[in-house]
Structure 1
């Protein structure tokens, strides 16, 4: 239902406000500064503050959604546990209380009595946020609430968030690191099929006012359900036309006349990088954050985001996958793509979000085990794979 997506946009903006406040309010920023001192952290800050920021964002999203859509909260899943143990050995469950004062008191227990920080954090947590989108306001889609599951990554690219670099220059619009790589990811999927239905990517740090040093962000969203495909990058949707086309991002991209481009992790395997160099030439970009790299595909800055390791998780990929589906693209299992035979007509192995990995424990239960490729246009992906796979073959025989 579009009401759920509208509320997710609102709570993502509230989450972005929390992320910005932790960098811009002095009492909170001092706690972030402590995180930077590896091996020198002040003993009085025994709580990992970046994790508290993560957890608080996650709980704000959960509890705001529960207030608006009772029963939905039990189907919201994320990376973080909401339990902390303070200096006195007390186990504290972080939650959003009914008043700002009660939330400040609870946070004070977690932060070992740091009143200034607790009150500053509680204030931004309880601020009302108004966020609307004309396209969604004019769209009515009914999706049964009890079929929905939600994956949340409250602050993706936490290392860049804590490091806080603001002077990184982009390469053809792509930031290799810095606060611009931080994202808040909320993905909605069908609990029966695992197919992603709705996604929100909130980028809290897009541009900084040189005078006030205040940051502004941007929010991206997409919805793909029962033939209806709409997204925030789709221009000129009128009230009478809420149905985007599945190939709306691909009409000018199908051929191979222009070079392919890819974005990868700095830790990508040498074999993948070597094959990509043959396919993409110099159009290979490196960047931090799975959410940000996926966003670069959403924005059309690159053709694909490719990652061969098993260290991304469902909360990293679900939001962008839903947006890409609405644009006519998707996110597929890399290992299965490399093993499939295109001549047999097998469909692309889309990532799914409802089932744990067999035999796995801990967070690995939700890992994208075969790696991934995110793409905007299926035909362009097929052309890319037809070049990538032959270039990987010689490398495989050498290992």
Structure 2
């Protein structure tokens, strides 16, 4: 009998959060772990882009843990980061999770001192079960679910720049942070490889609840949207607001914002694609729109699955305008994957209330 995939993804996300917190808690270690992305790995939207060993280690840990439990899925688990990292001598090291903590520590020791490598390896191989009361009751998945037809996209740390800096700036709207650790998420999304439709999503906020200096507790959201099963732990009520509220990147096109404002929306600006999508999931905003092609499949697969379980969805911005109808983002596997095919190059629109789309698309096509 297969273990419950949703629970195992939640556990993997919590292990990821533990690793992220450990790496973040030591400033010297954090600076040591940072390596600037260059060339095709960099996100052209940002002047500087970074990857950290925490990113790479989390991604490889999730791939190892889920691939071990669900071998039929192993070759279809993909993530944002290359597993290659350079050490202080300029040598390229491939980060790999071994079968034992000792093997993993030996690999990490190519980059870190032995003591730190052993600590991180211990976290990678520690059994983690996330059972917070807010998780809700995770249902049994259909017995005939074909795991060999499922793929996974991982964003190990969405909001890496926020993760590194940690500087918080707040918006004028309660509960919505513009920048800071609250914008950091771990995203694990499962999609049907035949249809390209997201079917399971897990979104974790590793730094949601600060208990003490450098001590945080996660908050995890999950959703399932299979033909025969829809479930989630995101049954939030929409708060009373005089106006609708949209959340955007600070670099969003001014003309687009003006058109949306004419529909009665107020604006919040925040970092992190996963964070902005999560604000739609929790009803803290009505709309997340991005007109630029600066998000990727690993950014959107998990929150889109959760939104679909709630009756919402995530759509292509230009595709929906061009088709004059809502066109959901797709994860269909079509030939060789390149940086371009991994990108949501036509932007996105995320909503829980799909009835908002009619007026929105009309206004955007004027």
TM-score by length of 2: 0.87
How far is the alpha carbon of 1:167 from its aligned partner? 7.0
How far is the alpha carbon of 1:258 from its aligned partner? 5.2
Q: CA RMSD in A?
A: 2.7
Counterpart Cα distance in 2 of 1:155 and 1:63: 17
> Which residue of the partner structure matches residue 43 of structure 1?
none
The structure richer in strand per residue is 2
The number of residues matched between the two structures is: 349
> Which residue of the partner structure matches residue 219 of structure 1?
220
How far is the alpha carbon of 1:175 from its aligned partner? 0.6
For each residue in 1:298-334, what CA deviation from the matched residue of structure 2 results, as whole angstroms up to 9, or x when unmatched?
Answer: 0101111000001111111000000000000000111
Do the aligned partners of residues 2 and 335 (structure 1) sit closer, same or farther apart at CA in structure 2, a change above 3 Å counting? farther
How far is the alpha carbon of 1:87 from its aligned partner? 4.5
Could you say which structure has the larger radius of gyration?
Answer: 1
For residues 299-318 of structure 1, the aligned pairs below 5 Å read 299-318=282-301
Note the residue ranges of structure 2 that are not aligned, 5 or more in a row: 37-48
Counterpart Cα distance in 2 of 1:326 and 1:68: 25
How far is the alpha carbon of 1:159 from its aligned partner? 0.2
For residues 103-182 of structure 1, the aligned pairs below 5 Å read 103-111=104-112, 114-132=113-131, 133-136=135-138, 138-142=139-143, 143-165=145-167, 168=170, 171-182=173-184
Counterpart Cα distance in 2 of 1:198 and 1:227: 13
2:360 is aligned, of 376, 384, 387, to 384
Where 1:5 maps in the other structure, the secondary structure is helix
Counterpart Cα distance in 2 of 1:279 and 1:15: 40
Do the aligned partners of residues 134 and 337 (structure 1) sit closer, same or farther apart at CA in structure 2, a change above 3 Å counting? closer
For residues 58-97 of structure 1, the aligned pairs below 5 Å read 58-88=59-89, 90-97=91-98
Do the aligned partners of residues 350 and 21 (structure 1) sit closer, same or farther apart at CA in structure 2, a change above 3 Å counting? same
CA contact (8 A) 1:21 1:124 kept: no
Mapped pair 1:55 → 2:49: no
For each residue in 1:1-35, what CA deviation from the matched residue of structure 2 results, as whole angstroms up to 9, or x when unmatched?
Answer: 881111111101000100011112x3xx3132457
Do the aligned partners of residues 90 and 340 (structure 1) sit closer, same or farther apart at CA in structure 2, a change above 3 Å counting? closer
Counterpart Cα distance in 2 of 1:93 and 1:335: 38
CA contact (8 A) 2:34 2:52 kept: no
CA contact (8 A) 1:333 1:349 kept: yes
Do the aligned partners of residues 134 and 274 (structure 1) sit closer, same or farther apart at CA in structure 2, a change above 3 Å counting? closer
Do the aligned partners of residues 2 and 195 (structure 1) sit closer, same or farther apart at CA in structure 2, a change above 3 Å counting? farther
How far is the alpha carbon of 1:199 from its aligned partner? 0.3
CA contact (8 A) 1:50 1:162 kept: no
TM-score by length of 1: 0.80
Where 1:65 maps in the other structure, the secondary structure is helix
For each residue in 1:242-275, what CA deviation from the matched residue of structure 2 results, as whole angstroms up to 9, or x when unmatched?
Answer: xxxxxxx89x99xxx9532210001111211222
Mapped pair 1:198 → 2:200: yes
For residues 326-365 of structure 1, the aligned pairs below 5 Å read 326-341=309-324, 346=325, 348-355=326-333, 362-365=338-341
Where 1:110 maps in the other structure, the secondary structure is coil
> Which residue of the partner structure matches residue 298 of structure 1?
281
Counterpart Cα distance in 1 of 2:335 and 2:263: 32
Counterpart Cα distance in 1 of 2:342 and 2:50: 25
For each residue in 1:267-303, what CA deviation from the matched residue of structure 2 results, as whole angstroms up to 9, or x when unmatched?
Answer: 111211222222234x210000001000000010111
